[in-house]
Amino acid sequence: MADVQNTPAPMPKPAPKKKVPRELAWVEQDGCTGCGVCIDFCPVENCIVPIPGQEFDTVNPLVEVVPDLCIGCKICVRECPWETIEMIPNSEFGKK
């Protein structure tokens, strides 16, 4: 029988390194209806969120992208029925 007590524990796998996307999604607030479709399709939890302060005030709060969570997959751009999400260079995020 194998001596399990002296068997070294397997090394934990290193956490996958998060790549920094070149572009991030950005919601043009003037065109957003707050429909929430982008939230449903975004593969990253809590990456698209109601704008703070609006979430309890309106039925359909406008949304914004959390840049630190966005992986730049562009799914939201494709799925937004109002074509109000665009991809902008990572370096430009927060300047608009």
| Helix H or strand E segment including 48 | strand 48-50
Residue 67 three-state SS = coil
* Residue 58 and residue 29 in contact, taking contact as beta carbons nearer than 8 Å: no
Provide the minimum distance between the beta carbon of 44 and ligand SF4 in the complex, in angstroms, as a whole number: 5
Residues found near ligand SF4 in the complex (CB under 6 A): 25, 27, 32-38, 42, 44, 47-48, 63, 65, 70-76, 80, 82, 84-85
Nearer to ligand SF4, 35 or 54 (CB): 35
Nearer to ligand SF4, 3 or 45 (CB): 45
Measured on CA atoms in the order 36, 45, 23, 65, is the torsion positive or negative?
positive
Provide the minimum distance between the beta carbon of 96 and ligand SF4 in the complex, in angstroms, as a whole number: 14
Nearer to ligand SF4, 13 or 19 (CB): 19
| Helix H or strand E segment including 75 | helix 75-79
